[in-house]
Chain A
């Protein structure tokens, strides 16, 4: 597991923001909202969660120009959105009955060194918690690969070994994200879940990313276990950061 570091309040204008580092991967997330829906055509009877993911041009070693709406970023936006949606309690938002609300999550990768997906989800969770948006649990995410270390860096990732990215609700022991995901995986996951301390797979079936490489079943179990442990470690750290931040704010307020 690589070193993690987080900071709350990276963007002062946003309602909630956070910076999250995992080794050399560095991600910044900002949350705006809940606010009134801006685009009137998108009005629906539940709160709208939007997510925008982007990667800074200078984030990778080889500088390349990436267009905003490319396939990868659309996919990651979707992944983050669905993962967060599973955790946000839209019906508990203040005045959710009165107006049509939307929550915007902006995630920007400043430095990419593998595991950006996980780092983005962790940063988004922190930012949402900072914004005071009611959540079922803190979603945390971690990737694990078959180099038998959690949290692959870029070199390890691009070596082409099999890896999984996992997002869980740590206190509730529920899986909200698993990539790559296939029907076979889901079945397997429930079996593993029962064996390894009741981690239960529930929420959305994400569009399965094509598996880059094969992952034998016996290894998957180990990798999953590693990822779950990683997620829980991150959750503990995030909780610490949140409590520390709240303490600081209370202290400044003079309570």
Chain B
């Protein structure tokens, strides 16, 4: 996308243009009563030309501030979580990364029993799928209740990516349900993620 090279800094309340000429993007807003586009953040003003195929020919004006807000899990995004508690029907986890980006604040997620794997979902034993402290790759299903996001590991490439054994060593995946401790050779049950090759 082409960007106009201009380094104009604006502060909240500054006029960016008429709403008949420009569209308000991020960091800007259009006041309906006088058809004017104002800045709502402090930062650099950027003008982005409209995509060629859209019927709207107005360019978009954005203001990019210096304070970037951290990433937020959205339905459909792949997240890396750390399991905090395993219960009979669900496991709760703290979301650490969204995609490849670290989150800035705390988000909690829940992996319910029916979302652990795709087949035989009623035979899942949560305690044989996750342990507290496991690092799990999961998919955000929905925003869930007001407390936590609903997560799913019902795909081959989703599940435990890193786990410690009772001996304290990082285990090696053996099959999609088992991991082995390199120190003691003990095998533990997990819902293992297929390594991305």
Given contacts A132-B65, A136-B38, A171-B15, contact A246 B72 (CB under 8 A): no
Query: Which B residues form the contact surface with A (CB < 8 A)?
Result: 9, 11-15, 27, 29, 31, 38, 40-44, 65-67, 69, 72, 74, 105, 143, 146
Instruction: Give 25 pairs: A residue, B residue, CB < 8 Å, sorted on A.
Output: A35-B105, A94-B69, A94-B72, A98-B143, A99-B146, A129-B41, A132-B65, A132-B69, A134-B12, A135-B12, A135-B13, A135-B40, A136-B12, A138-B12, A138-B13, A170-B13, A172-B13, A172-B31, A172-B38, A238-B11, A243-B11, A245-B42, A246-B9, A246-B42, A246-B66
With beta carbons under 8 angstroms apart, the residue of A99, A132, A247 that contacts B41 is A132
Contacts of B67 in A (CB 8 A): 15-16, 130-132
Given contacts A92-B29, A132-B66, contact A243 B72 (CB under 8 A): no
Q: Any chain B CB within 8 A of the CB of A21?
A: no
Given contacts A132-B67, A169-B13, contact A243 B42 (CB under 8 A): yes
Q: Any chain B CB within 8 A of the CB of A194?
A: no
In the complex, how many angstroms separate the beta carbon of A248 from the nearest chain B beta carbon?
10
Contacts of B44 in A (CB 8 A): 246, 250
Interface residue range, chain A = 35 or more
Interface residues of A in 161-191 (CB under 8 A from B): 169-172
In the complex, how many angstroms separate the beta carbon of A218 from the nearest chain B beta carbon?
31
Contacts of A43 in B (CB 8 A): 146
B72 and A95 contact, CB distance less than 8 A: yes
B105 and A36 contact, CB distance less than 8 A: yes
Interface centre among A36, A134, A172 (most CB of B within 10 A): A134
A94 to B38 alpha-carbon distance, docked (Å): 18
